[in-house]
Amino acid sequence: MAEKLLVNMRGITKTFYDIKANDNVNFDLKVGEVHALLGENGAGKSTLMSILCGLYQPDEGTIELEGREVVFHSPKDAIAQGIGIVHQHFMLVPSLTVWENMALGSAERNFTVKESATCARIRELSARYGLDVDPLSPVWQLSIGEQQRVAILRMLFHKAKILILDEPTSVLTPQETEKLFETVKHMKEEGFGIVFISHKLKEVFEISDRITVLRRGRVVGTLPAREVTAEKLAEMMVGSGGVGEIKVGVSRKPPGKPIFIAEEIRVRNDKGLVAVDGVSLTLRENQILGIAGVSGNGQGELAEALAGMRHIERGRLYFTVDDVTSASARRMVDLGVKYIPADRKGVGLVPNMNVAENVALRKYWRPPYKRGFFIDWDEVYRDSGCLIESYDILTPGIDVAVRMLSGGNQQKLILARELSDNMKVVIAMHPTWGLDVKATAFVREKLLAAKEEGGAVLLISEDLDELLMLSDLLAVMYRGKLMGTIEAPDRSHIEKIGLMMAGIASDGQGAKEEHD
Amino acid sequence: MIKIEKRFYISKGQELYIILASIILALLSGALMLGLMGVNPWEAYGMMLKGSLSDFYGISETLAKTIPLAMCSLAVGLAFTMVVWNIGAEGQFVMGALACTAFVRYFYTDSAIVMLVSMVLASSLAGGFWGAFAGFLKARWNVNEIITTLMMNYIAILLLQYFVYGSWRDPTSLGFPMTPVFPESARLPQFFASRVHAGLFFALIVALILWIVVRKGVWGYEIRVSGQNPRAADYAGIKSARNVILVMFLSGAIAGLAGMAEMAGLHRRLQPGFAVGYGYTAIIIAWLARLHPFTIIFVSFFFGALFVGGENLQIAMRLPLSTVQILQGLILFFLLGGEFFRSYRISLTFKKR
């Protein structure tokens, strides 16, 4: 008998409306192993994992757990068999405390909830796996990293032996990521089986024992992590001749004149707390200013304020010489200040409306789209057709609801709408979040092209590699303040950036904590 | 093995199939109920069909019911387009009737044009403000419009009773709570010696206008965006708060206009029993018609036939009113139950080896 297989999925096929999301997929997981699942969006990773955790039933194929064949009728069955998934969005109830979240959906159905017993078990588990968290604090007060720990703890609490981590690092600082990896390694030693879903090749190498690459619903290959190179993996993911490194820094034009200037602006968040606290920045033509930072440090509020969507309480905002401190979102668009929001489906698009209706979203109030009281849909459809072609947007048609499009194509649609005409300033927030390799490269190229065309770009991201690759200038945001700027940033600055992200200022700038 | 899965997409054909299947299932279970009551169900259904759709009288009665149903459904359908839950069409309908009756009472003139135009305006404004008030509360303080519109229905109905039992009561009515009959100039014409009145054109015109405005117009686009994704509406610079008030005003105005048509075209006097829940049935109609103005007209006709057929069942087969209400309830039950199959797919599979 060879090594014991924790999970053995054989010949899994799942069809959605004639599209084979999984086509005869084999996947297994050994005791004490981290098995990475790589692939572009739509490659079938999430379908496969949804089958493993009972959300879907496969059309064909079998699942064996420790040699026994199982059939899951619902996620409950899978949880009962020790399979736990930690989603990108943690599916916690924010208004409840940590222990209450744990007690929710617990396998043991009791009429009463046992606070002290639950808390004791949580403390024991968190001590054992290095997942620090206070069982009594409400979830909404926790940072993203802490919430993730809660989500993992919840799976351990439910006695999971098999843990699926879906893009776990996308919301973490480098330091938090390191801590997560320590936990993962520790769990590995204790005999857990861990499935690690990611796009970030570097992390996949660091943490996994084996890597399975999926493409278009099929397994391209399963390889030991030690035996492959990043290039090989990238090629497996996108097929032959896909990626193409972006050339950066080759045709760097010198930065032009300042065009969008914020002076000491202060902005409050939805809860009424100061989220942006006296930020000053200058965007110049032909320049990309990157802003790094852990999410929730005021980046979202800053982006919204600059896009005219959030009230600027104090300070001034100028577009060239015009004061646009209180300009509306619409005025900003008319001036050429474009915004690529972080939340594609929640803000940037209307998922239930079709491609043309989404193309019209940010210019329908002007001719040629607006004609009197009506919208000239023929014109919008014509434009949409052109944009679909020039931005290579994959869609079954113009009158298809954009929720049917993949994440990459949704983002391309937003880029097409925002960048295709009258673009002077671009505020891009997490523009490649959750996108596959190809779409990520496409978005980055478009941002660079916008800069080459004279655009002033503000790039807010959590992906340091991306920021280093694209930015001419890099600032770090921490608790609503900018923690100093680095010119021509590269990998040698990573440690410094990491410290700044944790609130430790470089060169004595910024860090003073002034709160009212 | 039975599998239940969420649907990503549903075709028009499947949608129609679900609706037809729901209606058939409702009729079958209704047949069971009728059979248990000792009535031949097929005879009863035949009677309903005969009463509502088989002859000129039946069809005209069905049309007369279609008018208020269609207009109230168009009214709530407009609000639902923006995902504003106007449950208050009933009250707005009553306010429209009250306003036009007030006009007849206090500003009567001989000229039919002046009279009818001012009644239209008065009832639309009254219904409109009744709706806009709830819209304002929602826009300003985010007060739940379901609660406010519902509560305002009771206010409207009690106001109606206050007037018909009080100062507006016809002194010659032998004590019945009703106003005097409207004079000639305050009546909408009826056609072909039936109770079908010119309000039918109101319904058709409103449907056409709504179709143009909502599907083609700039403003219609804005309210659809606001309804589907309020944060995307902010992103597009759409003033959602103002649009909520406007939508509620227009929605109320259409329902108010329906009240005027019902008064001037059908009843020709105000009496307490004229509002029989059209405003509530409208919610179901608008929903079944997927908020599409023209579909609303057809679905309203179907519901009109259900009402009229039910009345015939009462008269011809001596069935109690509650039987008819149960039948109508069953149809609604199955139609709404069919909604589940719009969002979920159920399939039977046999394990392959």
CATH code where residue B297 lies = 1.10.3470
In chain A, positions 402-461, which contact chain B (CB-CB < 8 Å)?
404
The values of phi and psi at residue A233, to 5°, are -65, -45
Q: Is A329 on the interface with B (CB under 8 A)?
A: yes
* A/B interface, count of CB pairs below 8 Å: 80
| B218 → chain A, closest CA residue | A374
Average pLDDT for A340-355: 92
Tell me what the pLDDT averaged over chain A comes to: 84
| CA separation for the pair A420, B20 (Å, rounded) | 47
Say whether both A292 and A403 belong to one domain.
Answer: yes
Interface predicted TM-score (ipTM) of this complex, two decimals: 0.82
- Residue B270, pLDDT > 50, answer yes
Say whether both A419 and A463 belong to one domain.
Answer: yes
Tell me the β-bridge partners of A477.
A482
Say whether both A126 and A274 belong to one domain.
Answer: no
Where residue A435 falls (left for φ over 0; alpha for ψ -120 to 50; beta otherwise) is: beta
Q: How many CA atoms lie within 13 A of B222 on its CB side?
A: 22
| CA separation for the pair A203, A451 (Å, rounded) | 30
Whether B108 is in a domain gets the answer yes
Q: Provide the pLDDT for residue A1.
A: 41
Which is more confident, B3 or A403? A403
Q: What percent of chain A has pLDDT over 70?
A: 91
Q: Provide the pLDDT for residue A18.
A: 63
Confidence class for position B85, pLDDT limits 50, 70, 90: very high
Q: Is A320 on the interface with B (CB under 8 A)?
A: no
Say whether both A198 and A67 belong to one domain.
Answer: yes
Across the interface, of B3, B229, B237, the residue whose CB is closest to A330 is B237
Interval B136-168: pLDDT, tens: 999 999 999 999 999 999 999 999 999 999 889
| B214 → chain A, closest CA residue | A374
Interval A69-118: pLDDT, tens: 888 888 888 888 889 888 877 788 888 888 888 887 665 666 677 778 88
Average pLDDT for A309-334: 93
The one-character DSSP state at B189 is P
Say whether both A207 and A262 belong to one domain.
Answer: no
Rounded to an integer, what is the distance from CA B11 to the centroid of its chain?
A: 27
Interval B282-313: pLDDT, tens: 998 898 888 999 999 999 998 899 888 888 88
Say whether both A146 and A176 belong to one domain.
Answer: yes
DSSP for A87-115 reads: -SS----TTSBHHHHHHTT-SS--SS--H
Cβ distance A375 to B221 less than 8 Å, yes or no, reads yes
Confidence class for position B265, pLDDT limits 50, 70, 90: very high
pTM > 0.90: no
Interval A161-179: pLDDT, tens: 899 998 888 777 777 888 8
Across the interface, of B3, B219, B236, the residue whose CB is closest to A362 is B236
- Please give the single-letter amino acid code of residue A211: I
Tokens standing for A346?
A: 């929640």
Say whether both A352 and A436 belong to one domain.
Answer: yes
Q: Provide the pLDDT for residue B333.
A: 86
Say whether both A224 and A270 belong to one domain.
Answer: no
DSSP for A385-440 reads: HHHHHHTT---S-TTSBGGGS-HHHHHHHHHHHHHSSS-SEEEEESTTTT--HHHH
The total of structural domains in chain A comes to 2
Q: Is A333 on the interface with B (CB under 8 A)?
A: yes
Chain A residues lying within 8 Å of B231, measured CB to CB: 343, 346-347
What value, to the nearest 5°, has the Cα angle with vertex B118 and ends B117 and B122?
125
Burial class (CB in 10 A: 0-12, 13-18, 19+), A399: middle
Domain enclosing residue A342, as ranges: 258-501
| Residue with the two structure tokens 């005209």 | B60
The one-character DSSP state at A512 is -
Whether A188 is in a domain gets the answer yes
The total of structural domains in chain B comes to 1
Average pLDDT for B201-229: 94
Cβ distance A56 to B5 less than 8 Å, yes or no, reads yes
| CA separation for the pair A101, B229 (Å, rounded) | 29
- Residue B193, pLDDT > 70, answer yes
| CA separation for the pair A133, A160 (Å, rounded) | 19
Which is more confident, A395 or B201? B201
Interval B97-140: pLDDT, tens: 999 999 999 988 888 899 999 999 999 999 999 999 999 999 99
Whether A360 is in a domain gets the answer yes
Say whether both A333 and A217 belong to one domain.
Answer: no
Chain B residues lying within 8 Å of A330, measured CB to CB: 236-237
Average pLDDT for A396-416: 89
What value, to the nearest 5°, has the Cα angle with vertex A233 and ends A227 and A238?
160
Across the interface, of A329, A364, A373, the residue whose CB is closest to B235 is A329
Cβ distance B219 to A373 less than 8 Å, yes or no, reads yes
Domain enclosing residue B170, as ranges: 49-318
| B238 → chain A, closest CA residue | A330
Which is more confident, A483 or B261? B261
Q: Provide the pLDDT for residue A304.
A: 94
Chain B residues lying within 8 Å of A309, measured CB to CB: 234-235
- Residue A242, pLDDT > 50, answer no
